[in-house]
Structure 1
């Protein structure tokens, strides 16, 4: 039977995983936004980057409230590789479609992180925060995907 300490540690690890994915998203969306030619998409990506920072802050606050004060967020190795790959594509002249495809891959990773964390036995207030964030992430993914698909026809 899991102890309270085990449950707290599981909560810490689960939220830290999402936080690191959000760090990746925050950096990746800003990087891609900087390279996009379409000004509307550029503004959207930069706003989404700020939204990921807010989501991250909300989850860090939950960890602080649960007694975890030494939060080390660095993103993930996979996220770093994906950003470098995206920068390389941009420098090679991949255009908005290529950048949007890279962004969609990142959004897929973020979707998976939320799906994984919501499989845990979480207190209701934390589950609600994550579910609200997940709903936004899904909407963002669909927006990026639809613009990626539209960029093919241009």
Structure 2
């Protein structure tokens, strides 16, 4: 178990959560449904908490600053949400589709991190967060289905 590999993996999770936090916040500001505004904003707050948990491990156990810059991909993703909103007649459905895509990306990053190189206490944190992310994806898919049926 290389410390560098652990630190790099934790940086990836921080970035994913930073992107999710910003993406959900932006989605909550652009969606029409008041109920979905609240839910998406809460998911943004949840991702801020996830990021904080991972940053705490980096600071405490690895003395790492945990500074991660916003990736180009996340900026493009948030711009895409705005673009879809401006073109789509069904704004909420388009925004939910982007949220779904973001969650699928987060799950891929999280499962990729769980390759056996993390200490067990960190794997536990990552697994707990992954369970909640999968739950959020299910919820987003439900809302997307409901928007499609309306």
Q: What range describes the TM-score normalised by the shorter chain of this pair?
A: over 0.9
Query: Could you tell me how far 1:80 is from its partner in structure 2?
Result: 1.1
Instruction: State the partner residue of 1:58.
Output: 53
TM-score (norm 1): 0.92
CA contact (8 A) 1:33 1:43 kept: yes
The Cα shift of 1:119 comes to 1.3
Unaligned stretches of 5+ in structure 1?
none
Q: Corresponding residue for 1:84?
A: 79
Give the alignment's TM-score, normalised by structure 2. 0.94
Q: Counterparts in 2 of 1:31-42, with a 5 A limit?
A: 31-42=26-37
SS of alignment partner, residue 121 of structure 2: helix
Does residue 119 of structure 1 match 2:129?
no
Q: Residues 12 and 63 of structure 1 are in contact (CA less than 8 Å); yes or no, is this contact kept in structure 2? A: yes
**TM superposition shift of 1:153:** 1.0
Structure 2 unaligned blocks of 5 or more = none
Partner residue of 1:151? 147
Are 2:113 and 1:100 equivalent residues in the alignment?
no
RMSD: 1.2
1:69 aligns with 2:64: yes
Counterpart of 1:23 in structure 2 is 18
Confirm whether residue 139 of structure 1 aligns to residue 130 of structure 2: no
For 2:78 and 2:6, the matched residues in 1 are separated by 28
